[in-house]
A = this chain, B = another copy of it.
Amino acid sequence: MHGVTPLKPGMKLAGPAFTLRYIPAREDLDSGEVDNLKDVQRVGIEQVQAGEVFVIDARQDTRAGTMGNILAKRLQMRGCAGIVTDGAYRDSPAIAAAGMAAFAAAMNAHTNKTIHHPSEIQVPIACGGVAVFPGDILVGDSEGVVVIPSHLAVAVAADAMAQEEKEDFLLEKIGAGASIVGTYPADEQTLAEYEEWRKNRK
């Protein structure tokens, strides 16, 4: 996702996506009291399952929040693994302090109904310029959020672990003074060293 960062350094998340799609607000739809049993955002909040990541398509429009700290708290209480928006949050400092992983494009104290109308939950969405389908695996860290299509998640996870282990080895070697030539990408000798290193590590 492009332009989506954690509210606080060190926040991490991983889990399947529960999606919410906003469209632009319209005056005749988005005034009056919110009805928790009909408002699509509210319905979604009470349906998300423990371990899921609540992901919001805000059309990268940060002129208003897409959620505040009371609703974020409710998600946290339901066991939500984190929240992601390509818009903004209201009460961002409070959300950041509450501890659940939260990623956004900006902070904005305005209430969402002036800009955003909740349209659907659990449909494919765009978030930060990439497609997110319900159930896709989201992985977030200090660098941002990556989306892994659900059918590729197992393979990608295995690859990622192998890749990370290899990068640990390479960093160690580069950190000891090796040139990148022969090392990164690895030639046969480096690959052999790596296999040795892996054996010793276990």
Residues of A whose CB lies within 8 Å of any CB of B are 2-3, 5, 9, 23-26, 28-29, 33-34, 36-37, 42, 45-46, 59, 62-63, 69-71, 73-74, 77, 90-93, 106-109, 117, 119-120, 123-126, 129-131, 141-144, 146, 149, 152, 167, 170-171, 174-175, 177, 179-182, 184-185
| Complex contacts, A174 vs chain B, CB 8 Å | 70, 73-74, 77
Residue of B nearest to A187 (CB): B36
In the assembled complex, which residues on chain B have CB atoms less than 8 Å from the CB atom of A91? 143
- Asked if B143 and A93 make an inter-chain contact with CB atoms under 8 angstroms apart, the answer reads yes
**B125 near A70: Cβ-Cβ < 8 Å:** no
A45 near B142: Cβ-Cβ < 8 Å: no
CB within 8 Å for A171 and B46 given contacts A23-B131, A59-B59, A124-B119: no
CB-defined contacts of A25 to chain B, threshold 8 Å: 131
